[in-house]
Amino acid sequence: MRALSLDLRPLRKALEPKGMVTGQAQVTFRPAVPSGSSTRWQARSRHGAPNPVPESASASPPDEAPAARVSRLSPRGAARVRRWAGRALLVAPTVGIVAVDLAKRHPRLLSFTGTDLFFYLGSVLCGLVLWTSLVAVASRQSGFARWPTRVLLVLFALVLVGAQIYTFERYQAYVNHRAVLVGTSFLPSVGQQLWFDRWSVARAVLPCLALAVAIPLLAVKLAPMRQRARGWLCLDIALVAVLLGAFISPESGAEQGQPPDIMYIAAMGQLARARWDHNETVERVHPGPRTPEPMPKLVAVQARKRNVVMLITESVRAQSVCLDYATGCKYTPFSNKVVPNRIPLTQMRAVDSTTAISLAVMWSGLLPTSTRKELHSAPLLWEYTHAAGLDSAYYTSQNLLFGNSGTWLEGSPWTRHVSATMIEPDATYETGADDGKLVDFAIRDMGALKEPYVAVVHLSNTHFPYKIDPEDMPFTPQEEATGPGYENEILNRYQDAIYLQDKSVARLLEALKKRPEAERTVIMYVSDHGEQMREKGAVGHTGTLFDPEIRIPFWIAAPQGTLTEDEETKLRGLHDTPVTSLDVFPTVMDLLGLWDAPEIDRFKSRITGQSLLRGGSPTDRSIVITNCSELWACAFKNWGGIRGSKKLIAHQGERAWSCFDVAKDPDENKPLDPSECADLLPLTERVMGGHPF
Ligand SMILES: [Zn+2]
């Protein structure tokens, strides 16, 4: 904030021609030519006459400060310096923005050619016209328009630059038109996230705020705009620049192919257009209620009599839990102890890293690339169990107002249900209600279910900003700030949240063990997707398909006799086999004895997964993975293909596909030659309609 109190006196003094006293014949600058495109300025006195040129500048004492030495310049020279300094201030915002943009993503920007390069440079020019016009008007010494313009300059600096820098530091991408459209479904959640991450936000926006205040202050001292008419002309020009930025489609260039300021203006333009068109994403009815196809009566035929408790958690990645039983497990010591004989699958991957898509996959078995119509008409787990006359429950600490997921689930025929706001009326959008309270509720309520049943217990406190127990944090130092410099702190906080949640998980597992039906209850533990902790530049999920975001924990704890010998052998055999979340739904259906019901054949034709109790899907099958579904649009484009351990992925910030073999290169640091993933490319580009960059 030091910049706010810049002491301009030495500079002013230095730049004032000798012999002139401010107030008598104040030095101001105005164009030599009153109109036209010329920006030639000359020093004039307040009365409009050219400034008197003093005989010569007097010699300065040898020990004078450098700034004062400028005063050795002739008045003409000093005027020239001031003139150039004034001009430099006009272009400073755009120069600064482009410099920041280059610093953040030079490999991508420097790779632009042809239309992409032209579009980027055109957008820079649009920004230059806008900022120059605004700074010029803000530099006026009098007149009404300067004050609203100065306020506008500050607002623009905060939103078009500061907020964009914050977004980039968090997601490695700027807010664009797609992010804005998706964001409208999450507005309260966006607000909460910004508040939780306020220190990172402040660090990104405060320098912009300081500069937005300082630049007009400096300009008004060095080269104020004197002509009223010129001020209005500049405002007109600024308006034209905003309109051009807003209504030229950002799709004309590369993905994220504009500087951050114009990208934001373009996003707002597209949002206005979407509102005008009543686009349902922005009308807040997205994704809308479902109309599932009617389900014939089903008969459950179980291989063994068994109940299923499906424990779904939020944003927990495989590498941050103890999958195999481990003595001295640090991350999830409580569940590690309660279910030592669990059967983990260490290579389970979600086919996306977006909550809504992941849950739809696990509850419907459909691909993330299914159409909107398919997802809206597909029966979910509860419709199948209802048709079979089985009891079911959905206990969730997630706030179902998040992304309108409650609307989508409305009318689901579960037997028992509770969600975040029913437990805690003020549950946040981000972390929901307390997982401990949800577990307590579920333990009490499950007594009402008659066997065989399926109960989904869905936890949410491990979503950003990661709920922790300040009294018990084994991982320190921790912070909820996500910005650069907090890589270790945010990871610690994330691990502390998983550690805290694990106490609730263990309490539920203990309680289930004590229930009369314990020996007939199979427990499945899985996360919706993972979480990136800056391994690939970002914090969070949904932005990429790198393994930290999609490799998820998965284990099954099956008491003796709940699985047939063959089922258990098949499941244990998958310990190191690459499998995907597409197999989760068929596995639950198989456990419930519904997978072979002939009545569901027509639904099964759209379900590509296979029960893990039967060996899971073949590992040589190619699948498209994506965070951009037709029903749930993505904020940041990213998709790819997966076959066994081979992954072909890309996101909007890249310029090419990357191919990895995650069996040999689990950190995805050694991209293979794209030919190694050649078979995945045509499938991915065909299904997704091209590449995401
Ligand atoms: Zn999630």
Tell me how far the alpha carbon of residue 462 lies from the centroid of ligand 1, in angstroms.
Answer: 9
Tell me how far the alpha carbon of residue 464 lies from the centroid of ligand 1, in angstroms.
Answer: 9
The secondary structure of the chain in percent helix, strand, coil, rounded to multiples of 5, reads 45, 10, 40
Higher pLDDT, 511 or 43: 511
Tell me how far the alpha carbon of residue 350 lies from the centroid of ligand 1, in angstroms.
Answer: 11
* pLDDT tens figures, 622-632: 999 999 998 88
At residue 313 the predicted structure's pLDDT band, cuts being 50, 70 and 90, is very high
At residue 69 the predicted structure's pLDDT band, cuts being 50, 70 and 90, is low
Q: Express as a percent the part of the chain with pLDDT over 90.
A: 67
* pLDDT tens figures, 420-460: 988 988 888 889 999 999 999 999 999 999 999 999 999 99
Tell me how far the alpha carbon of residue 549 lies from the centroid of ligand 1, in angstroms.
Answer: 10
Tell me how far the alpha carbon of residue 632 lies from the centroid of ligand 1, in angstroms.
Answer: 13
DSSP output for 202-245: HHHHHHHHHHHHHHHHHHHHHS----HHHHHHHHHHHHHHHHHH
Tell me how far the alpha carbon of residue 30 lies from the centroid of ligand 1, in angstroms.
Answer: 58
Domains and CATH numbers, the chain: 2-276 (no CATH), 307-574+590-616 (3.40.720.10)
Tell me how far the alpha carbon of residue 354 lies from the centroid of ligand 1, in angstroms.
Answer: 6
At residue 282 the predicted structure's pLDDT band, cuts being 50, 70 and 90, is low
Q: Is the pLDDT of residue 394 over 90?
A: yes
Tell me how far the alpha carbon of residue 576 lies from the centroid of ligand 1, in angstroms.
Answer: 24
Tell me which amino acid residue 373 is: K
Q: How many angstroms from the chain centroid is the CA of residue 434?
A: 24
Tell me how far the alpha carbon of residue 573 lies from the centroid of ligand 1, in angstroms.
Answer: 28
Tell me how far the alpha carbon of residue 114 lies from the centroid of ligand 1, in angstroms.
Answer: 39
Question: Interior CA angle at 160 toward 156 and 162, to 5°?
Answer: 95
At residue 21 the predicted structure's pLDDT band, cuts being 50, 70 and 90, is very low
Tell me how far the alpha carbon of residue 541 lies from the centroid of ligand 1, in angstroms.
Answer: 8
| Mean predicted confidence (pLDDT) in 385-396 | 97
> Which secondary-structure segment (H or E) carries 312?
strand 307-313
Tell me how far the alpha carbon of residue 10 lies from the centroid of ligand 1, in angstroms.
Answer: 56
| Mean predicted confidence (pLDDT) in 157-168 | 93
For 288, the token pair is 């809308």
Which stretch of 4-8, 169-173, 406-410, 526-530 has the lowest confidence by average pLDDT? 4-8
Nearest to 363 by CA among 607, 531, 186: 607
Q: Hey, CA dihedral for 257, 261, 267, 272, is it positive or negative? A: negative
Q: Is the pLDDT of residue 279 over 90?
A: no
3-state SS assignment for residue 32: coil
Tell me how far the alpha carbon of residue 173 lies from the centroid of ligand 1, in angstroms.
Answer: 19
Q: What is the pLDDT of residue 478?
A: 92
Tell me how far the alpha carbon of residue 435 lies from the centroid of ligand 1, in angstroms.
Answer: 15
Tell me how far the alpha carbon of residue 461 lies from the centroid of ligand 1, in angstroms.
Answer: 10
Tell me how far the alpha carbon of residue 442 lies from the centroid of ligand 1, in angstroms.
Answer: 20
Q: In terms of DSSP bridges, do strands 646-651 and 658-661 run parallel, antiparallel, or are they unpaired?
A: antiparallel
Tell me how far the alpha carbon of residue 463 lies from the centroid of ligand 1, in angstroms.
Answer: 7
Tell me how far the alpha carbon of residue 357 lies from the centroid of ligand 1, in angstroms.
Answer: 9
Tell me how far the alpha carbon of residue 498 lies from the centroid of ligand 1, in angstroms.
Answer: 14
Whole-prediction pTM: 0.76
3-state SS assignment for residue 290: coil
Tell me how far the alpha carbon of residue 528 lies from the centroid of ligand 1, in angstroms.
Answer: 5
Tell me how far the alpha carbon of residue 355 lies from the centroid of ligand 1, in angstroms.
Answer: 4
At residue 186 the predicted structure's pLDDT band, cuts being 50, 70 and 90, is low
Q: What is the pLDDT of residue 251?
A: 86
Q: What is the pLDDT of residue 283?
A: 57
3-state SS assignment for residue 659: strand
Tell me how far the alpha carbon of residue 312 lies from the centroid of ligand 1, in angstroms.
Answer: 10
Q: How many angstroms from the chain centroid is the CA of residue 616?
A: 32
Q: What is the pLDDT of residue 52?
A: 40
Tell me how far the alpha carbon of residue 397 lies from the centroid of ligand 1, in angstroms.
Answer: 12
Q: Is the pLDDT of residue 263 over 70?
A: yes
d(CA 431, CA 459): 9
Task: Supply φ then ψ for residue 106, to 5 degrees.
Answer: -60, -35
Tell me how far the alpha carbon of residue 49 lies from the centroid of ligand 1, in angstroms.
Answer: 69
Q: Cα(first)–Cα(last) distance of the chain, in Å? A: 38
Q: Is the pLDDT of residue 207 over 60?
A: yes
Q: How many helices (H) and strands (E) does the chain have?
A: 24, 17
> Which secondary-structure segment (H or E) carries 557?
strand 554-557
Tell me how far the alpha carbon of residue 48 lies from the centroid of ligand 1, in angstroms.
Answer: 66
Q: What is the pLDDT of residue 582?
A: 98
Tell me how far the alpha carbon of residue 359 lies from the centroid of ligand 1, in angstroms.
Answer: 8
Q: What is the pLDDT of residue 518?
A: 96
Instruction: Give 580's DSSP letter.
Output: E
Q: What is the pLDDT of residue 494?
A: 97
Tell me how far the alpha carbon of residue 656 lies from the centroid of ligand 1, in angstroms.
Answer: 27
Tell me how far the alpha carbon of residue 628 lies from the centroid of ligand 1, in angstroms.
Answer: 15
Tell me how far the alpha carbon of residue 512 lies from the centroid of ligand 1, in angstroms.
Answer: 25
Tell me how far the alpha carbon of residue 531 lies from the centroid of ligand 1, in angstroms.
Answer: 9
Tell me how far the alpha carbon of residue 529 lies from the centroid of ligand 1, in angstroms.
Answer: 6
Tell me how far the alpha carbon of residue 530 lies from the centroid of ligand 1, in angstroms.
Answer: 8
Contact 507, 337 (CB under 8 A): no
Contact 394, 384 (CB under 8 A): no
Cis status, amide bond into 31, omega within 30 of 0: no
Which stretch of 245-249, 403-407, 561-565 has the lowest confidence by average pLDDT? 403-407
Q: Is 218 exposed, middle or buried (0-12, 13-18, 19+ CB in 10 A)?
A: buried
At residue 278 the predicted structure's pLDDT band, cuts being 50, 70 and 90, is confident
Q: In terms of DSSP bridges, do strands 554-557 and 343-344 run parallel, antiparallel, or are they unpaired?
A: antiparallel
Q: Is 310 exposed, middle or buried (0-12, 13-18, 19+ CB in 10 A)?
A: buried
| Mean predicted confidence (pLDDT) in 218-244 | 89
Tell me how far the alpha carbon of residue 107 lies from the centroid of ligand 1, in angstroms.
Answer: 31
Q: Is 72 exposed, middle or buried (0-12, 13-18, 19+ CB in 10 A)?
A: middle
Tell me how far the alpha carbon of residue 141 lies from the centroid of ligand 1, in angstroms.
Answer: 53
For 203, the token pair is 């660090």
Tell me how far the alpha carbon of residue 315 lies from the centroid of ligand 1, in angstroms.
Answer: 5
Which stretch of 154-158, 379-383, 405-409, 518-522 has the lowest confidence by average pLDDT? 405-409
For 131, the token pair is 């900022």
At residue 534 the predicted structure's pLDDT band, cuts being 50, 70 and 90, is very high
d(CA 80, CA 658): 53
Higher pLDDT, 278 or 129: 129
At residue 235 the predicted structure's pLDDT band, cuts being 50, 70 and 90, is very high
Tell me how far the alpha carbon of residue 317 lies from the centroid of ligand 1, in angstroms.
Answer: 11
| Mean predicted confidence (pLDDT) in 606-622 | 96
Give the mean pLDDT of the chain.
87
Distances (CA, A) of 262 to 73, 101, 243, 248, 635: 40, 12, 11, 10, 17
What are 524's strand-pairing partners?
310, 556
Tell me how far the alpha carbon of residue 439 lies from the centroid of ligand 1, in angstroms.
Answer: 18
Tell me how far the alpha carbon of residue 181 lies from the centroid of ligand 1, in angstroms.
Answer: 19
